[in-house]
Amino acid sequence: MKILNFGSLNLDYVYQVEHILIPGETLSSSDRTIFCGGKGLNQSIALAKAGITVYHAGMVGEGGEILLETCRENGVDTRFVRKIDGPCGHTVIQVDKDAQNCILLFGGANRSITREFVDEVLAFFEKGDVILLQNEINELGYIIDKASEKGMMIILNPSPYDNALDRCNLSKVSLFLVNEIEGYQITGEKEPEAILAKVRSIYPKAKIVLTLGSEGSVYQDENQIYRQGIYKVKAIDTTAAGDTFTGYFIASILENMSVEEGLKLAAKASAIAVSRPGATASIPLREEVQAFGL
């Protein structure tokens, strides 16, 4: 069984600020670092660091060589990453003294996916293979339809949520990984139990993992619900903590671990990511997660 992650690759321009800017304000930052990121790339690296062989498909633009190098250094298969003219996907990220962040995204090359390219990539995969998607590339609906026609298992992290997702047939998704905000955007419900109940009624066959920040996470499928708390650490930067959780939880599924073990593994991995700066740079190796106490 092969796993394909069709997703974004971004250059993250991360600024340290005393507080997150308010409208109309000008504020000096105390530091700036450029990290490799993008929800797609982060999740591929998390999978690779967890020990899974993952194929990443996507597009990089000018300055994107470092994103490809980072993939390769971490063992991600990049045969389906294309380099095109024009700007690379990038973000401006503010991180404040409490490690909270806000992210301004420019899609760039990530928005240049063509249907021909999707067909070319999917031709390499077959029934039973897994495809992981986020919402930072274009043609998501087409990818979902074509992957479903092939009989691939579709895992979706609908992040960031926007109305492009309303045009996708999400009933073809087998597993959703969402945070509370995305859960609200999908269901209109705010309470975790209500979000889970609504997802169950709209997508009765889908499994869901709902992450709840400091309240941990909840997994639900047709038969069971599991809850997992967080591992408390000193937070430095929360960027990519959710992506780390996603990558490690999917790794646990691919390794046939129990849901309880998988949630624990993912919670430990994301705790380590929160304690470090940057996106891909903060994602721990499997050995580090295993050595993490508690």
| Residues binding ligand RIB (CB under 6 A) | 8, 10, 12, 37-39, 42, 91, 103, 105, 136, 239-240, 242-243, 279
Least spacing, CB of residue 287 vs ligand RIB, in Å = 23
How many C-beta atoms lie closer than 10 Å to residue 28's C-beta?
7
The SS3 of residue 85 is: strand
- 265 in the Ramachandran plot: left (φ > 0), alpha (ψ -120 to 50) or beta? alpha
Nearest to 237 by CA among 93, 28, 92: 93
How many C-beta atoms lie closer than 10 Å to residue 146's C-beta?
18
Least spacing, CB of residue 275 vs ligand RIB, in Å = 16
Least spacing, CB of residue 19 vs ligand RIB, in Å = 20
Contact present, 284 and 269 (Cβ < 8 Å): yes
Closer CB to ligand RIB, 58 or 192, in the complex = 58
Closer CB to ligand RIB, 129 or 136, in the complex = 136
> For ligand RIB, which residue has the nearest CB?
37
Least spacing, CB of residue 41 vs ligand RIB, in Å = 7
- 273 in the Ramachandran plot: left (φ > 0), alpha (ψ -120 to 50) or beta? alpha
Closer CB to ligand RIB, 5 or 125, in the complex = 5
Closer CB to ligand RIB, 179 or 220, in the complex = 179
Least spacing, CB of residue 101 vs ligand RIB, in Å = 8
Residue in the block written with tokens 């909270």: 100
Closer CB to ligand RIB, 54 or 259, in the complex = 54
Q: Pull the structure tokens for residue 141.
A: 């609906």
Least spacing, CB of residue 149 vs ligand RIB, in Å = 28
Nearest to 65 by CA among 109, 26, 30: 109
Cα 36 from Cα 43, distance rounded (Å)? 12
The residues, any chain, with a CB within 8 Å of residue 209's CB and separated by 6 or more, are 175, 176, 177, 178, 217, 218, 219, 249, 263
Closer CB to ligand RIB, 105 or 154, in the complex = 105
Least spacing, CB of residue 257 vs ligand RIB, in Å = 24
Closer CB to ligand RIB, 59 or 122, in the complex = 59
